[in-house]
């Protein structure tokens, strides 16, 4: 705990520090170290368990073409589903947050705020059931229409799925699932915008929307990105909702969002395959988990970088 | 183009609380009008009601009439956004946009008004506005740096530059020099003297010498006691207010006998 004050001879003047400060510094440092240790432990476990999959003969790995060929389509499917969800959820979430904080009358805003928080607490299995039992069947005519009329766009090349268990449905379900988180965090930062800045814009003759563009959105930018990343993290790691909704076939890579043949995602694939796997199969699944771990880490680093790049303009200083 | 403002029977409320009562005053174009008075007597509140910034706060509203060149600013078909584009404002506390550069802060109002302007023209205007606010020399080498990196006094001058860049008809300034050193204060006062050729200027100040130096007309606000509304006690030519005021309260306040 005293490691920051160099314990040298009588000439050095250790800064005077209160017991409370020292205790607090000690506990928070301890917590920080603990988090790093846990992370390192998880990473270590993944690496050790995944190693055999990399050294094993390629034919022994499920799929028969080696571990990279096994994981790559899964990684692709994971990223595709998550990005789709993010593209759907973020604009909506920011819109909802803006409505709640800037436009709705106070009573309504409060109610809506609670509702959004409540949505964030619904377990993902519920979203999964909703997706498969309610959403998917209602989307099939829409998919057929897309395949007929917009089939020249690779995204909608078809053939259209008749069950609705497509990547697009998964994107929608995941989007709805992460919307409350992104929205709740955006709402919090929008509420933090000092009224001084909002009034500065209004006094220049800004309309409400111009004021939002000048003062609220730029100020809330890092918060929106942070919320989106949290949502992306949840979408990347979502297991059950995807496992229920998606009709996946192993080993494909396609941008076709509405066909019955879709790449699976890492988390749902692990959930579905793990009970029946043994030996190298288990190691391969752990290796895919390691890939997900790295992807999530990379996404977070990227988000940090985006936020930091303009941190001097964040309004936090 | 400078415009005159006529205020009649103005009552200003925060919810149920009557903050300022019964203001009747005419503000002359092409002149500086100073508002003085003790803290909490409603100077800022009155100033904000002139460009309809008061009603931005929930529950805040006014009764009475404010007319600019005869047009009722609170008329049923008047858009407050238009009012604020014609009546600029510098706030009591500096509020540059922290997410924008110094340059963008000054240009913000012009971009809002969607005036098409060539880059060089805009550069000129930004330079002129910053020169006017006596800030140009300090920031000309870092126009693209964030405005939040400026000192408090520099931020206040940036806000002045931002307000004058759009060339409003009327400029409201709420203690624009309270955070400034004597040199910048003097520069701002020179700026007001220069601007009043074109604009109508209303300033709130706690600095009697400043009011005496820059203004043609002075209004003295006072408050009878806590919870009471502030009132405009006296409004007269500045010379008269400072030499021979009509009201005893004005004289007491100016000579520092209360306040
Ligand atoms: N947002 C607000 N909500 C409720 N009451 C307010 C609000 N702002 C100001 N008031 C009240 O209105 C009255 C006038 O305040 P105002 O800020 O106009 O005073 P002022 O003359 O500008 O004072 P100062 O010289 O200290 O700036 C005060 O009693 C104050 O408490
Ligand atoms: Mg004030």
Chain A residues close to B98, C-beta within 8 Å: 197, 219, 313-317
Nearest ligand to the CA atom of B173:
2
High-pLDDT (> 70) share of chain A, %: 94
Mean pLDDT of chain A: 88
Instruction: Decide if A181 is inside a domain.
Output: yes
Chain A residues close to B56, C-beta within 8 Å: 198-199, 202
> Is A257:A167 a contact under the CB 8 Å cutoff?
yes
Instruction: Decide if A7 is inside a domain.
Output: no
Provide the residue count of chain B.
Answer: 259
Domain boundaries, chain B: 5-254
Instruction: Decide if A88 is inside a domain.
Output: yes
Q: Which atom of ligand 1 is nearest to the CA of B92?
A: 27
β-strand partners of B223: B230
Interface contact flag, B53 A205, Cβ < 8 Å:
no
Residues 154-183 of B with CB under 8 A from A: 159, 162-163, 166
CATH code of residue A194:
1.10.3720.10
Q: Is the ipTM of this complex over 0.90?
A: yes
**Biggest CA-to-CA distance, chain B:** 56
Mean pLDDT, range B55-66, rounded to an integer? 94
Nearest ligand to the CA atom of B229:
1
Q: Return the structure tokens found at B50.
A: 């002139």
Burial profile B54-75: b = 16 or more Cβ within 10 angstroms, e = fewer:
bebeeebebebebbbeeeebbe
Chain B residues close to A194, C-beta within 8 Å: 95
From A229's Cα to the closest Cα of chain B, the distance in A is: 21
Q: What is the pLDDT of residue A7?
A: 46
Residues 15-54 of B with CB under 8 A from A: 51, 53
What secondary structure letter does DSSP report for A235? H
Instruction: Decide if A65 is inside a domain.
Output: no
pLDDT digit string (tens) for B113-131? 766 788 899 999 999 999 9
Nearest to B112 among A210, A316, A317 (CB): A210
Q: What is the pLDDT of residue A49?
A: 93
Residue closest via CA to ligand 1's atom 6 equals B14
From A73's Cα to the closest Cα of chain B, the distance in A is: 41
Which range of A8-22, B9-23, B244-258 scores highest in mean pLDDT? It is B9-23
Size of interface A-B (CB pairs under 8 A): 83
Nearest to A203 among B51, B82, B96 (CB): B51
From A204's Cα to the closest Cα of chain B, the distance in A is: 6
Residue closest via CA to ligand 1's atom 2 equals B14
Residue to substitute from B78, B86, B98, B108, interface A, most A β-carbons within 10 A? B98
In chain A, the residue whose alpha carbon lies closest to the alpha carbon of B163 is A204
Residue closest via CA to ligand 1's atom 9 equals B45
Mean pLDDT, range B150-178, rounded to an integer? 92
pLDDT band at B33 (very low <50, low <70, confident <90, very high): very high
> Number of structural domains, chain A?
1
Instruction: Decide if A11 is inside a domain.
Output: no
Q: What is the pLDDT of residue A290?
A: 95
Q: Which residues line ligand 1 (CB under 6 A)?
A: B 14, 17, 19, 39-45, 57, 92, 230
> Is B166:A204 a contact under the CB 8 Å cutoff?
yes
pLDDT of A9 strictly over 70: no
Residue closest via CA to ligand 1's atom 11 equals B19
Please report the DSSP string for A165-233 in residue order: -SHHHHHHHHHHHHHHHHHHHHHHHHHHS-HHHHHHHHHTT--HHHHIIIIIHHHHHHHHHHHHHHHHH
Burial profile A74-101: b = 16 or more Cβ within 10 angstroms, e = fewer:
bbbbbbbbbebbbebbbeebbebbbebb
How far is C-alpha B240 from the chain's CA centre? 23
Instruction: Decide if A33 is inside a domain.
Output: no
Instruction: Decide if A249 is inside a domain.
Output: yes
Q: Return the structure tokens found at B28.
A: 């002359």
pLDDT band at A12 (very low <50, low <70, confident <90, very high): low
pLDDT band at A316 (very low <50, low <70, confident <90, very high): low
| Separation of CA B240 and ligand 1 centre (Å) | 28
High-pLDDT (> 70) share of chain B, %: 98
Nearest to B99 among A198, A207, A314 (CB): A314
**The CATH number of B5-254 is which of 3.40.50.300, 3.40.50.20, 3.50.50.60, 3.40.50.1820?**
3.40.50.300
Interface contact flag, A313 B146, Cβ < 8 Å:
yes
- Rounded distance, CA A75 to CA B203, Å? 64
Q: What is the pLDDT of residue A64?
A: 85
Interface contact flag, A204 B109, Cβ < 8 Å:
yes
pLDDT digit string (tens) for A269-294? 999 999 999 889 999 999 999 999 99
Domain assignment of residue A135, given as a range: 73-308
Mean pLDDT, range A261-268, rounded to an integer? 92
β-strand partners of B18: B13
Instruction: Decide if A1 is inside a domain.
Output: no
In chain A, the residue whose alpha carbon lies closest to the alpha carbon of B97 is A197
Interface contact flag, B108 A214, Cβ < 8 Å:
yes
Give the global pTM.
0.84
Nearest to A207 among B81, B86, B149 (CB): B81
Establish how many alpha carbons lie within 13 A of residue A168's alpha carbon, considering only the half-sphere containing its beta carbon.
Answer: 25
pLDDT digit string (tens) for A94-131? 999 999 998 888 889 889 888 888 888 899 899 999 99
Q: Residue for token digits 């942070």?
A: A226
| Separation of CA B42 and ligand 1 centre (Å) | 5
């Amino acid at each position: 705990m005293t490691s920051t004050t160099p314990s040298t001879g009588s000439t050095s003047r250790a800064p005077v520090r209160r017991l409370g400060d020292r205790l607090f510094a000690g506990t928070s440092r301890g917590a920080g170290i603990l988090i790093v240790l846990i992370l390192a432990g998880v990473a270590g476990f993944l690496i050790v368990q995944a190693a055999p999959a990399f050294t094993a003969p390629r034919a022994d790995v499920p799929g028969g073409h080696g571990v990279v060929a096994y994981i790559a389509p899964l990684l692709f499917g994971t990223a595709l589903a998550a990005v789709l969800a993010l593209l759907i959820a973020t604009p909506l979430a920011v819109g909802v947050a803006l409505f709640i904080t800037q436009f709705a009358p106070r009573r309504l805003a409060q109610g809506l705020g609670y509702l959004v928080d409540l949505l964030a607490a619904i377990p993902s299995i519920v979203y999964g059931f909703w997706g498969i039992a309610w959403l998917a069947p209602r989307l099939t005519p829409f998919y057929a229409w897309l395949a007929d009329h917009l089939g020249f766009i690779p995204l909608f090349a078809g053939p259209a799925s008749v069950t609705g268990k497509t990547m697009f449905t998964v994107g929608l379900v995941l989007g709805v699932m992460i919307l409350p988180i992104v929205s709740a965090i955006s709402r919090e930062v929008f509420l933090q915008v000092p009224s001084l800045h909002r009034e500065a814009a209004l006094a220049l003759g800004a309309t409400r929307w111009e004021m939002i563009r000048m003062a609220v959105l730029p100020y809330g930018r890092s918060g929106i990105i942070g919320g989106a990343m949290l949502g992306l993290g949840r979408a990347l790691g979502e297991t059950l909702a995807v496992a229920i909704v998606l009709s996946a076939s192993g080993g494909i890579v396609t941008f076709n969002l509405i066909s019955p043949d879709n790449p699976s995602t890492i988390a749902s694939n692990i959930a579905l395959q793990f009970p029946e796997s043994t030996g190298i199969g288990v190691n391969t699944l752990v290796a895919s988990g390691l890939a997900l771990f790295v992807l999530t880490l990379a996404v977070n680093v990227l988000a940090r970088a985006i936020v930091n790049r303009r941190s001097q303009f964040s309004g936090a200083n | 183009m400078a415009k005159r403002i006529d205020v009649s029977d103005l009552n200003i409320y925060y919810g149920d609380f009557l903050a300022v009562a019964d203001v009747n005053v005419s503000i002359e174009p092409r002149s500086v009008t100073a508002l003085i008075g003790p803290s909490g007597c409603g100077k800022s509140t009155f100033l904000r009601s002139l460009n309809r910034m008061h009603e931005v706060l929930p529950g805040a509203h006014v009764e009475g009439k404010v007319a600019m060149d005869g047009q009722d600013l609170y008329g049923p078909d008047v858009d407050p956004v238009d009012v604020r584009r014609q009546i600029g404002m510098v706030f009591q506390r500096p509020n540059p946009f922290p997410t924008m550069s110094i340059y963008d802060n000054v240009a913000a109002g012009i971009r809002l008004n969607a005036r098409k302007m060539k880059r060089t023209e805009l550069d000129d205007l930004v330079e002129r506005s910053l020169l006017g606010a006596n800030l140009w020399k300090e920031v000309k080498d870092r126009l693209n740096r964030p405005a939040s990196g400026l000192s408090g006094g520099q931020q206040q001058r940036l806000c002045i530059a931002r307000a004058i860049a759009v060339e409003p008809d009327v400029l409201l300034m709420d203690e624009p020099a309270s955070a400034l050193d004597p040199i910048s204060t003097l520069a701002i006062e020179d700026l007001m003297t220069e601007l009043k050729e074109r604009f109508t200027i209303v300033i709130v100040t706690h600095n009697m010498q400043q009011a005496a130096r820059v203004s043609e007309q002075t209004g003295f606000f006072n408050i009878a006691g806590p919870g009471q509304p502030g009132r405009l006690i006296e409004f007269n030519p500045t010379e008269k207010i400072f030499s021979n005021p009509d009201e005893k309260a004005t004289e007491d306040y100016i000579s520092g006998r209360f306040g």
